[in-house]
A and B are shown apart, each in its own frame.
Chain A
Amino acid sequence: MEALLFNVDSGFLEGTVRGYKAGILTQSHYTNLTQCESLEDFRTQLSATDYGNFLANESLPISTATIADKATQILVDQFKYLRNNAVEPLSKFLDYVTYAYMIDNVILLITGTLHERDTHELIERCHPLGIFESMPALCVASNVEELYQSVLVETPLAPYFRDCLSASDLDDLNIEIIRNTVYKAYLEDFYAFCGSLSGPTADVMQRILSFEADRRTVNITINSFNTELSKEERAKLFPAIGRLFPEGNNQLAKADEIDQVRLVCENVGEYRQFFADAGSSANGLGDEDSGVLSQLEDRFFQTEVHLNKMAFLQQFQYGVFYAYMKLKEQEIRNITWIAECIAQNAKDRIQDFIPIF
């Protein structure tokens, strides 16, 4: 059915997004980029790609932050173009994509206010896709209740925050808990929404979101070792979706060290390689542990990129929009990384990006 009617509403946008996707940097582009000697070379090199002359009007010297900003701006413009041309239910789907950025922005603002940073500076650091108009007022709130009542109640995030309403004061741990609870609610809601779209959208998106949920579960578990977070509270933060749900989540809730996490992950075929050559030697804390973690982080990113690439193999579904955003974000991270390496003359680590195509 979707093959028959999909293009009526979304054919143009799918075509557009696939066209955008064709502009994602390839391995050969990256090879060229990593050979650059200076950021000027870098700019010349990028101007030969789909980025075009996006840095042409910047006066020298260019900073890596400018590169990242401008690249993000391109992505944001593309997204806004898609969003403005979308109709239901694609428009709703795209709104869901922005909610994640809104959550990040909210948390950023609360944390910043807690540490008494300047509000304007914080707002500038917010992701442009997650900005909503009453957002600046977040900085007056001093507890969750107030936060909810004064600002969030009129945003689409309100239902997600409803679960974590408590009069408790905002501190770092609480904010972290709020972030994870809200994100959990968001993921579950998005998952259900994609399910309601049925067809290939549901297939593709639920695969991606399941992985996202599992990644969060694993991260929460590992990060909560040796903290004051109790195991019951930890269990509450796990999204109730994903491939690890429910037994894996239960086991993770009780885990005390990385080895246990590894055992749980090995129950799922695709996740087995996350800890593959981490070895069983990671039997304590210290440098080795952090090595495993950063490796794990990279593997997560690689799997995410892989899943998002898979989304493009299927037509007539909305997964491509989500996947494009994620791939492009990864690309921006990559070029920022390379630019940073060039700027700081750290050529030995320049290869540590995650190639997309």
Chain B
Amino acid sequence: MSDDYPSLLRSEQMSLVQLFVPTEVAHDTVAELGELGNVQFKDLNPNVNPFQRSFVGEIRRIDEMSRRVRFFSTQIEQEKDVVPIRPLYDSAPLITVGPRAAQTMDELDGVLAAHEQRLTQMNESYQKLGERTKELIEARHVLRETAVFFDKAQDHQTDIRTSYDDSAAPLLQHDDRENQYSAGTGAQFDLEFVAGTIERVRVPTFERVLWRVLRGNLYMNHTDIVEPFVDPVTGAETRKNVFIIFAHGDALLAKIRKVAESMGATLYPIDANADKRSESLREVEGRLEDLQNVLYNTGSSRRTELIKIGENLRSWQDVVRKEKLIYETLNLFNYDVRRKTLIAEGWVPTRDITTIQLALRHATEESGTSVPPILHELRTHKTPPTFNRTNKFTEGFQTIMDSYGVASYQEVNPGLFAVITFPFLFAVMFGDIGHGFIIFVAALYMIFAERKLARTDLGEIVGQFFYGRYIILLMGLFSIYTGLMYNDIFSKSLHIWHSAWDFPGNGTDTKIVGVDNGHRYPFGLDPGWHGADNNLVFVNSYKMKMSVVLGVIHMTFALCLQLPNHLKFKRPIDVYANFIPQMIFLQSIFGYLVVCILYKWSVDWSKASTQPPSLLNMLISMFLSPGKVDPSEQLYAGQPFVQVVLLLLAAICVPWLLITKPYLAWKDMHKIKEQGYVSIAGNGDGNGTHRDSSDDVLEGEEEGNGGAIAEAGDEEEHEQHDFGEVIIHQVIHTIEFCLGCISHTASYLRLWALSLAHAQLSEVLWTMTLEAWLEPTGVFEWIVLIVMGVFWFVLTVFILCLMEGLSAFLHALRLHWVEANSKHFEGGGHAFTPLTFADPDFKD
């Protein structure tokens, strides 16, 4: 069918292949297949521990290498000044395939180890120097701060003393006093003290503990050190305080020292003598200067090393990542020691087998050996993975559907139809030419700047918009179309053609009734409705009916998608037992409603004899009082009879849906039993031969002669046809469908509700911001107009385009997932996850 050309309607046809790879080319083969990215390997030794597999040694080595690479990248990240990292696409690729592969890896290993050793050494010495510098800086701070403190204390003391002298000392003893002074400056502090630095967070605890330990016998003073201390290697900042504690007595001082040390404080010996203090300050500063020179040199050589690493870091990361993937894949293979080959099994798209063959040959040539790997197609009963080939346009739509559920193998893929239905349903809710144009332009920008944007890291939210740029493009385009239909542009209307309505007012009337002038507005809503009193009444009724019509069409379409599935998988029973009754049920109730809506639109009720009937009441009374229609509300002649027939049809469909399939299944089972077959799970007393298995063997032999198609072991357990399960499944299915028809139709009314809300919101925004200022007369009003214009535009973009757009998007999503997918989608597949080197985290 679709074998010749890839289509999105069904997932790719897959084949299970077996690869016999000679050990010497195994690595290169996997590397080649990984670059190709379309083989999903199966784990052939699920019972083997991860560390008992064949290539653990290699993986361990790669792990060690990747640890080193990680170490480098954290080092580079922590560096304050940004170290340039050459992007991957700029760096020369490291060739890890071919005859020199092993050597390249060895070299790389060596290079990494050497770099690591150098870097750790430098870090160590840098840290050591940094620590010393830190100590000296702390010492300097302690010296300075204590100096300030001592100076202050001295001032106080002199003050006290002079005042004391003034009041009590006799003038004659002046000389004595002089002597006293000169002696006093030398040893005026008989209090002893401890000085040092401590982390700021610990100061309160420190103070509290000391106070308790010394029972209050201390005097403590501390000041903040303004600049933080930065750890040179980790880059962490710590803030410290200088403290000085005075206490009396050796025992107390010893206690203080002990507490201080255990709390992580650093103590510095400070002399009470001012001269000695300034001397040691000078000394400290001298040493600090020397040390800082050395530190600078070490730092710059460390930086050179990092820059050198940064040049190659990306390619190393790439190589390490790929090698790890390769060896992990190789571990999935069956290792045959005797024959020196590796046996691999995996799923591939049938279409790509030739490409893979080419890749295998290429790998053999590269590695320089003559033994090519052999590819071998297997027959199997296993369900292949689902693989939908997408391009950048369809990718987004397919992802929307895949996030609901991965389609079963070769099932009709709703992603294909979502390409059109999704933007369309969105646009029905978002219909506005102006807003549609804004998002269209935004999407267009993202598409034109695609190459540039794809390379930069956009962040999570913007990245999502970028990923869905083609969806947004179509959404914008369709919104412009529905905007034209609704005749809405930023809540105003376009007046292109001649309106059907004239308003012959002369300006004095408070209410003007439009007069039909015989024209017909050719496309979309007549602008005459804009601003009319009964605009809302008209638009509401129109949009509500339209959403029901669209909804029923969408559901009918989704229901029809069952048919190709049933035909493809040869399930005629499902056509008769599921598809046909479901279709009749849906059409006899809601299809009829749609026909009535269309018919009612086509009648000119102003000239008709009866009043226009309410369709809602009609539908309700069709159930409540079948066969009776009030003549005053009759839509057409013979309505009661038609409705009774339709109701009966729908009523028949329910038991039809409920019973047929279980009955057929039961009959089938009965037939098998009558023919004398016993299920193998029962007592296998030899009566029941398992026909399937013998058949398989025969088939296998026949095929084996014909070509290179071997039989895969029949590992798949045959699905046990449990009768009870069929019944329960069908009951649930029936209830779900019948109730679902009603609730889903109602659910499509969200199309009306959202489009109405959107139109109203944009109108409110217009009247509240711009409308009053549209005819400026003075300078001030011009300014207000500009301000309001900007305000209006910002709100339009953020509220109407982004917020409303998101809400419409979500509702469109729901209509697809719930209302449409429930009609046909099985979604029991598992996605195809091939071995590929393309990494989503790596932008290249």
Question: Which residues of A line the B interface, CB within 8 A?
Answer: 32, 35-36, 40-41, 44-45, 48, 56-57, 59-60, 119-120, 123, 133-134, 136-137, 139-140, 146, 149-151, 153-154
Contact = CB atoms under 8 A, between A and B. Distances in A.
B571 interface: no
Nearest to A142: B255
Interface of B: 49-51, 56, 59-60, 63-64, 67, 70-71, 202, 205, 208-209, 212-213, 255, 258-259, 261-264
Contacts of B258: 139-140
A36 B56 CA distance: 13
Nearest to A36: B51
Contacts of A139: 258, 262
B7 to A, nearest CB: 41
Contact of A45 (B49, B212, B261, B264): B49
Given A44-B60, A134-B208, A154-B208, A119 B51 contact: no
A137 B51 contact: no
B212 A153 contact: yes
A140 B50 contact: no
B209 A137 contact: yes
A136 B51 contact: no
Contacts of B259: 136-137, 140
Nearest to B63: A56
Given A45-B50, A45-B51, A136 B262 contact: yes
Nearest to A37: B51
Most buried by B among A56, A119, A136, A151: A136
Nearest to A151: B209
A136 B50 CA distance: 45
Q: Residue among A35, A40, A59, A150 with the most chain B CB within 10 A? A: A150
A140 B49 CA distance: 53
25 contacts: A35-B49, A41-B51, A44-B59, A45-B49, A48-B50, A56-B63, A56-B70, A57-B67, A57-B70, A57-B71, A59-B67, A119-B261, A123-B262, A133-B202, A133-B205, A136-B259, A136-B263, A136-B264, A140-B213, A140-B255, A140-B258, A140-B259, A150-B212, A153-B212, A154-B208
A35 to B, nearest CB: 7
Contacts of B49: 32, 35, 45
Given A59-B67, A150-B213, A44 B56 contact: yes
Contact of B262 (A32, A40, A119, A154): A119
B215 to A, nearest CB: 9
Contacts of B208: 134, 154
A58 B70 CA distance: 11
B64 A60 contact: yes
Nearest to B258: A140
A140 B202 contact: no
B262 A56 contact: no
Contact of B51 (A44, A140, A149, A153): A44
Nearest to B59: A44
B212 A140 contact: no
Contacts of B67: 56-57, 59
B218 to A, nearest CB: 13
Given A35-B49, A140-B255, 5 more contacts: A45-B51, A48-B50, A57-B70, A119-B262, A140-B258
A40 B64 CA distance: 11
Nearest to B52: A35
A26 to B, nearest CB: 14
Q: Is the interface of A mostly helix, strand, loop or mixed?
A: helix
Contacts of B56: 44
Given A139-B262, A140-B213, A134 B51 contact: no
B213 A134 contact: no
Sort A-B residue pairs by CB-CB distance and give the 6 closest, nearest first.
A136-B262, A137-B209, A119-B262, A150-B213, A150-B212, A44-B51
Nearest to B120: A59
A151 B261 CA distance: 16
Interface centre among A56, A60, A123, A140 (most CB of B within 10 A): A140
Given A56-B63, A60-B64, A137 B50 contact: no
A41 B205 CA distance: 46
Contacts of B255: 140
Nearest to A138: B262
A347 to B, nearest CB: 17
A120 B71 CA distance: 28
A48 B264 CA distance: 39
Nearest to A41: B51
Contacts of A48: 50
Contact of A137 (B59, B63, B70, B262): B262
Given A35-B49, A44-B51, A59-B67, A150 B262 contact: no
A33 to B, nearest CB: 10
A37 B261 CA distance: 44
A36 B64 CA distance: 18
A134 B205 contact: yes
Contacts of B63: 44, 56
A303 to B, nearest CB: 32
A59 B258 CA distance: 36
Contacts of A56: 63, 67, 70
A123 B60 CA distance: 35
A276 to B, nearest CB: 36
B131 to A, nearest CB: 15
B262 A149 contact: no
Nearest to B204: A133
Contacts of B71: 57
B212 to A, nearest CB: 5
A151 B264 CA distance: 16
A120 B264 CA distance: 8
Contacts of A123: 262
A150 B213 CA distance: 5
A134 B209 contact: yes
- B49, B60, B258, B261, most chain A CB atoms within 10 A: B49
A150 B60 contact: no
A141 to B, nearest CB: 8
A44 B262 contact: no
A44 B49 CA distance: 10
A146 B263 CA distance: 18
Contacts of A36: 51
A154 B213 CA distance: 13
A99 to B, nearest CB: 19
A126 B34 CA distance: 49
A137 B209 CA distance: 7
A119 B255 CA distance: 14
B330 to A, nearest CB: 16
A35 B259 CA distance: 49
A345 B89 CA distance: 49
Nearest to A122: B262
Contacts of A60: 64
A32 B59 CA distance: 18
A315 B124 CA distance: 52
Nearest to B210: A137
A144 to B, nearest CB: 15
A175 to B, nearest CB: 18
Contacts of A140: 213, 255, 258-259, 262
Residue with the highest number of chain B CB atoms closer than 10 Å, among A41, A48, A123: A41
Contacts of A44: 50-51, 56, 59-60, 63
A149 B212 contact: yes
B263 A137 contact: yes
A140 B254 CA distance: 9
A60 B205 CA distance: 40
Contacts of A120: 262
A150 B216 CA distance: 11
Contacts of A35: 49
Nearest to B202: A133
A44 B58 CA distance: 12
Q: Which of B67, B208, B209, B264 has the most CB of A within 10 A?
A: B209
A146 B261 CA distance: 19
Contacts of A151: 209, 212
A136 B258 CA distance: 10
